[in-house]
Structure 1
């Protein structure tokens, strides 16, 4: 099942995609798609809804974040060995955890605001893991039972900010640095989260072309590992890392985003996103 929220920012309605890819309005069955609805029981209730009986949404509405109630946006750094190599960093012996501010989250096609003072704005296509039930010190064997589904993410990064200290959060949590969606694809529709093709283009040029198969630490391991260090709650997101091809790693010189650039990205079965880089509203003109 592909769940979403659509409509004007702040007034989104719940929706789902039917078997023919048409957007259907779920408002008659729920007022919104909240973190509490991502539990197995909540998803069973939604699965029981016959899409054919729901109104078709015409046109091309804006997609918002697919669900509400995220308390933590957990990121995993350097989780692809070839990305670690292009960054000139050692392959980690255990997952590297950092946090992206929840306030960075936005709809999948919102403009990316270049922060004030930004000089090295970068891109990272990532698989997002969405938690459906509380996970605290769970085993790898049980880890996937806590996953509600998966979504497409762009871990937008400001490298100059990120590399100013050993803590990466400052370069990861700016407004609009967390596009999510367009959909939450429930776990039953993703046969193997370690076998998904992923890609990212900048101004129509392919920059990243990878697969979740080359993760160092897979989804099962990450959910278990993170749950030992912080309790994961329904609606929490784990961003699982990015394959090579980020701007920072381009040869012979790094290539960073500038105002007017358009980033398009996708993951097999999880949809696509498009963001245009715009100036910060307080930037000197």
Structure 2
């Protein structure tokens, strides 16, 4: 894939960190990470805990911070003065929000890609609770079940073949659908833990520049709910891509152009 024209020449040491959503892994970014690196950007696409090739089972990841720790470790390892563009997809929006709260000085901008976006007024679980309360998504064949009899661990979640095909990857190729179905892992929304956390602060998370990328053909986190989150927590810029929920597989070229524009503007 050719490097996008917008990214050719002069991207310097700009660093983009791509954060996957629930049940996915760093692998989901392969169509985006490859051309970004070819264009000269530094790109990381870490596996969060119990995701991708991370060896831990979900039961060993009891909290959302534990789940996010690989991302937090990556940011902690960066030298002073080094700033990244954080991109969170779907549930990954809450991961990048936590990362920005923890390391605001290391974040040039946070990009929410058809993602859950917390505000600074309510607990981090609030947007997901509103999503469930509003019945914005038919769970179809998603399997949700407790991990332990005592209920101390968060509810596990695994997407079924039908919801993947009809709600998340409806614009993807049959090959990408097959790949995703073979690589998904049991995950969690960690709502039980997030509901106990304090809101992210205006001084830290609230101070970081934010961009929201609306995917207008998303049947998972639908367009209208994405725009409600932006109204609820205004951002510096809104961009649009005519894509389904797993935009990095269905519309990678458009997403690469979008991310290079953002990196060149904010980083």
Q: Which band: TM-score by shorter chain?
A: under 0.3
Q: Which structure has the highest strand share of the two?
A: 1
With the length of structure 2 as denominator, give the TM-score of the two structures: 0.24
More helix by share: 2
Larger Rg: 1
Q: Structure 1-normalised TM-score? A: 0.23
